[in-house]
Chains A and B, each alone.
Chain A
Amino acid sequence: DAGVTQSPTHLIKTRGQQVTLRCSPKSGHDTVSWYQQALGQGPQFIFQYYEEEERQRGNFPDRFSGHQFPNYSSELNVNALLLGDSALYLCASSLFPTLSGDSPLHFGNGTRLTVT
C-alpha cells in the first residue's frame, strides 16, 4: 500500500522562475493538503483540495496555486519565485474530514525547494 509520494525530492530554481511540485495521495484518500516548512519551523498550511476544488486556503499569496486531478493527485505551482520561498514543501493526504470523525494527515517526504 503506497503512501504519499512527492516529486521531485529536490529542486533548485532562480528568483522569478516558476515551479511545479507533484503529489500522489495514499491509496484510498481523496483530500490533498499542501504545507510549507521553513528551516527550523513547523509546517504552515497553504491550501487543501477536495473533489478537484480548493476548499480552504492559508495565508499565502496568489503566486501559490494548485490543482487536483480526477485520480486525486495534486500539483502545487509557485510563480515569480522569491528567495523566501525556499523551504520544504509537504503534501499530505487524508479522507475529507466530517463532523463524525477526524482523519489524521499522512505526509509525503516533501520536496526541498531552493531559490537562488
Chain B
Amino acid sequence: AQKITQTQPGMFVQEKEAVTLDCTYDTSDPSYGLFWYKQPSSGEMIFLIYQGSYDQQNATEGRYSLNFQKARKSANLVISASQLGDSAMYFCAMREQQAGTALIFGKGTTLSVSS
C-alpha cells in the first residue's frame, strides 16, 4: 500500500488565488512527521513546512499552512496568495519514528500559476 498518496498530478491556479494540494498518508506508528517540499525545474528540493504527529496546532510558515486532519490521515498544503514563482512540483513526505530516519515521498503534484 502507498504510504503517501498525492492524487492531483497537476493543479492550475491564477496569481493571488489560494490553492490546496492534497496529501493522505498511511501509518500505524503513533509518532511521525509530515513534510512538504517544493521542487522547481532546477531540481533542488526546498523544505516548506513540517507537522509533527503530536502537534496540536496546524503548522504555518508565511504563505504556507498545513491542514492537518489526523483522524483522516491527511496533511494538505495550503498556499495563500499564489505567485508565479510558486510554479513547481510539490512533494508530501513522511518520516515514521519506528522506521528510522528515511523520508517517504509521494509522487508529487505539479502546480502551475498563471497571471
- The chain A residues found within 8 Å of chain B, CB to CB, are 31, 33, 35, 40-45, 48, 55-56, 58, 88, 90, 92, 96-97, 99, 102, 104-110, 112
- Tell me the complex Cα distance, A96–B93, Å: 18
| B105 in the interface (beta carbon within 8 A) | yes
Chain B, 11-65, CB within 8 A of any chain A CB: 33, 35, 37, 42-47, 50, 52
User: What range describes how many residues of B lie at the interface?
Assistant: 20 to 34
CA distance A42 to B107 in the complex (A): 5
Minimum CB distance partner of B49 in chain A: A104
Please measure, in the bound complex, the distance between the C-alpha atom of A41 and the C-alpha atom of B109, giving whole angstroms.
10
Question: In angstroms, how far is the closest chain A Cβ from the Cβ of B55?
Answer: 10
Contact, CB under 8 Å: A56 / B45? no
Among candidates A58, A97, A110, residue contacting B44 with C-beta atoms closer than 8 Å: A110
Is B101 engaged at the interface, CB distance under 8 Å to the other chain?
yes
